[in-house]
Structure 1
Amino acid sequence: MPLLIVAFLITALLYASVGFGGGSTYNALLALAGIDYRILPLIALSCNIVVVAGSSLRFARAKVTPWRGAVTLTALAAPAALLGGLTPIGEGAFLNLLGASLALTAVTMLLPIAKHEGEPLRWARAIPFLAAPLGYLAGLVGIGGGIFLAPILHLARWDNPRAIAATASFFILVNSAFGIAGQILKGGEGRVLAAIDAGLPLLIAVAIGGQIGSLLALKFMPQRWIRVGTAALTAWVGLRLLLAM
């Protein structure tokens, strides 16, 4: 458990510094530690909420959140996240989806962030149609979905980088809450108690790591370095998970 706590702290630090929650990596770390896969989404989604709640609040206070767009995308995704949380899934399918999510996450972390000069691209209008599938995936495997939404928004020149980061943070926060609701309804009280027993020290770790990550992003480390480090961690954990199956 001490090594797992340290790993969660480092993961939260890295992901918080680039505006994400880290749910996919939390899940993989828990799976590699031999934790029952049925309670992984409950722990990972709870950690997501702890990490992104503070950043969502900071974005809101700074008045950079584009509320109309953020609420529209999240309102479409959240019911699907609840449905994803309710969907029964076997261990093999869960771990395969999680491994694929980690691989895609590592790639998206390395995509360049455009300067968003000019108008949004035409296909940006289709982005709301992607919100529900991303929400369903979020609830099913215990991620927030923002790590996939943000690169799409950047590629479409949907808004400026700070507004996109704020939108992704809000998207992760709400989807994680709805995903947890679905997981609780599916698993019942027994899984909740098991998740609390295993996850409480990890929640404390990500709370500390998230705060440190925000500080690093604001004052010290270049964003490019942090993104490369986060992608490397994600790729390594994903590869370990896939090889262990």
Structure 2
Amino acid sequence: MIWLIAAFFVTALLYASVGFGGGSTYNALLALSGLDFRILPLIALSCNIVVVAGSTIRFARAGITPWKGALTLTAIAAPAAFFGGLTPIGESTFLTLLGLSLVLTAATMLLPIGKAEGEPHRWSRYMPVVAAPLGYLAGLVGIGGGIFLAPILHLCRWDGARAIAATTSLFILINSLFGLAGQIIKGGEGRFLAAVDIGLPLIVAVAIGGQLGSLLALKFIPQRWIRWGTALLTAWVGSRLLFAM
């Protein structure tokens, strides 16, 4: 359990440093530890909520969140996340989707993020269409979906980098809340209590790691180094999960 707590701490620190929650990696670490796959999303989504809640509040207080666009995307994705959490899924399908999500996550972390220059791309108007499937995947597998949303928003020049980070943070937070609600209803009281029993020390670890990541890491380490390190960690965990099946 000690290695798992340490791994969750490092994951939260890295992901929070680049504005994400880390749900996919939490899930994979839990899967590699041999836990019942049915309780993994409960723990991972709870950790997601803890990590991104602080950054969401900070963005809002700073007046960075573009509320109209962010709430539109989130309002479309949240019900889909709830239904994703309710959807029954087999272990092999769950682990395959999780492993593929991790590999894709690593790829998105390596995409360059430039400044938003010029008018938004015409594809930006179709972003609400993308929100629903990302929300469903978030609830089904126990991730926030923001790791996929952010690079799409950047490629479409949807808004400035800070506004996209604020939108992604809100997106992850609300999707994780709705996905967790669906997972709790699907699993029942027994599975929820099992997740609480295992997850409490992990939630404490990500709370500390997430705060350190968002407040300290970016002051001392270039963000591109953190992104590359996070991508390598994610790719390694995802590859291990896929090859272990």
TM range (shorter): over 0.9
Partner of 1:17: 17
Q: Which amino acid aligns with 2:196?
A: I
1:38 and 2:58 are equivalent in the alignment:
no
Q: Which amino acid aligns with 1:42?
A: L
Alpha-carbon deviation of 1:217?
A: 3.9
Partner of 2:190: 190
Alpha-carbon deviation of 1:219?
A: 1.5
Q: Which amino acid aligns with 1:71?
A: L
Q: Which amino acid aligns with 1:54?
A: G
Partner of 1:166: 166
1:64 and 2:70 are equivalent in the alignment:
no
Alpha-carbon deviation of 1:215?
A: 2.2
Q: Which amino acid aligns with 1:19?
A: G
Partner of 2:123: 123
1:243 and 2:243 are equivalent in the alignment:
yes
Partner of 1:201: 201
Q: Which amino acid aligns with 2:199?
A: G
Partner of 1:181: 181
Distance between the aligned counterparts of 2:213 and 2:4, measured in 1? 18
Secondary structure of the structure 2 residue equivalent to 1:150:
helix
Partner of 2:104: 104
Distance between the aligned counterparts of 1:120 and 1:12, measured in 2? 32
Pairs aligned (count): 245
Distance between the aligned counterparts of 1:104 and 1:218, measured in 2? 24
Partner of 2:148: 148
Secondary structure of the structure 2 residue equivalent to 1:127:
helix
Distance between the aligned counterparts of 1:129 and 1:182, measured in 2? 22
Q: Which runs of 5+ in 2 are unaligned?
A: none
Distance between the aligned counterparts of 1:15 and 1:111, measured in 2? 15
Contact 1:109/1:227 (<8 A) preserved:
yes
Distance between the aligned counterparts of 1:30 and 1:150, measured in 2? 25
Partner of 2:226: 226
The runs of 4+ residues in structure 1 deviating greater than 4 Å are none
Q: Which amino acid aligns with 1:239?
A: S
Query: Percent of aligned pairs with the same residue?
Result: 79
Output one character per residue of 1:1-31: Cα deviation in whole Å (capped at 9) or x when no partner: 0000000000000000000000000000000
Contact 1:73/1:131 (<8 A) preserved:
yes
TM-score (norm 2): 0.99
Partner of 1:93: 93
Secondary structure of the structure 2 residue equivalent to 1:187:
helix
Distance between the aligned counterparts of 2:244 and 2:46, measured in 1? 25
Alpha-carbon deviation of 1:177?
A: 0.2
Output one character per residue of 1:167-219: Cα deviation in whole Å (capped at 9) or x when no partner: 00000000000000000110100010000011000000000100110123441
